[in-house]
Amino acid sequence: MDKSKTKFFIELSVFIIILISIVAVIATFWPRYEERFIEFGLLGKNKTAEEYFPNDNPILQVGDSINWFIYVHNHLGFSKNVSIRIKIVNSLLDVLNANKNEPSSQPTLIELPLFLSVDETNFVPFSWTILETSHNDTLVILKQLLINDQIVYLDLPASPESSFSLIFELWSYDQDSGEYHYEQEIDDGFSSISLNIGFQIS
């Protein structure tokens, strides 16, 4: 074998060894898996994390119109049917029990079903207006809301200085049971997804 061929095979061998070493190093530090989750948030009227209330004042009056967007992004790696369930509580009630992955015990005011494709982002419009309240010396009572053009009747009291909270819970459809569940199995554990935002009534 002449010297040129010998040199070629030596260089090729060195190149292959270097390539194998690079691949081994990359494989060592490359993430073993991608975290799988659903991103869930609430945005203001301009699809930003601001301007949630008129004049940035969470003390509302009858007739005030509020426009938000519920932000949902699917990072699960597979399509998913979900349901956004909206509830309301006063400050005397437990808003959430995140440590136990339990939903609020209050009834659902409105439910927004949603199909999420892989890596899909949704901005779900959420508009609401306080239609009716009543007051006495010790309580303010929330009687009626308009949510996404649907009238919702309530009888929820709070003291004048306390607040109400809207709760947004993300429920996921389970193929095996044929039902929606608040607690979801993600990777090797269970979690729940919810958020809330408070306001007062003048």
The predicted pLDDT at position 146 comes to 97
Say if residue 135 is in the same domain as residue 161.
yes
CATH assignment of the domain containing 76: 2.60.40.10
Kindly report the pTM of this predicted structure.
0.78
- Residue 80, both tokens: 């998913």
Closest of 169, 168, 171, 167 to residue 80, by C-alpha:
171
Say if residue 111 is in the same domain as residue 161.
yes
| Cα 14 off chain centre by | 52
Say if residue 107 is in the same domain as residue 90.
yes
Say if residue 23 is in the same domain as residue 82.
no
Say if residue 104 is in the same domain as residue 143.
yes
Say if residue 17 is in the same domain as residue 104.
no
The predicted pLDDT at position 72 comes to 94
The predicted pLDDT at position 16 comes to 56
Say if residue 189 is in the same domain as residue 165.
yes
Closest of 139, 50, 152, 156 to residue 111, by C-alpha:
152
Say if residue 72 is in the same domain as residue 155.
yes
Say if residue 51 is in the same domain as residue 18.
no
Our count of domains for the chain comes to 2
Say if residue 22 is in the same domain as residue 48.
no
The predicted pLDDT at position 104 comes to 87
Cα separation, 181 vs 124, whole angstroms: 20
Say if residue 73 is in the same domain as residue 131.
yes
SS3 45: coil
By CB atoms closer than 10 A (0-12, 13-18, 19+), residue 83 is: middle
The pLDDT profile of the chain, 202 residues, written as one tens digit per residue, is: 555 555 545 554 555 566 566 555 554 555 544 667 889 999 999 999 899 999 899 999 999 999 999 999 998 888 899 999 999 998 766 555 545 678 888 899 999 999 999 999 999 999 999 999 998 888 899 999 999 999 999 999 888 777 899 999 999 998 888 899 887 766 556 678 888 899 999 8
Say if residue 26 is in the same domain as residue 51.
no
Determine contact, residues 169/182, Cβ cutoff 8 Å: yes
* Domain interval for residue 64: 38-201
The predicted pLDDT at position 75 comes to 87
**CA-to-CA separations, 56 to 6, 42, 44, 148, 185, in angstroms, rounded:** 77, 15, 10, 21, 37
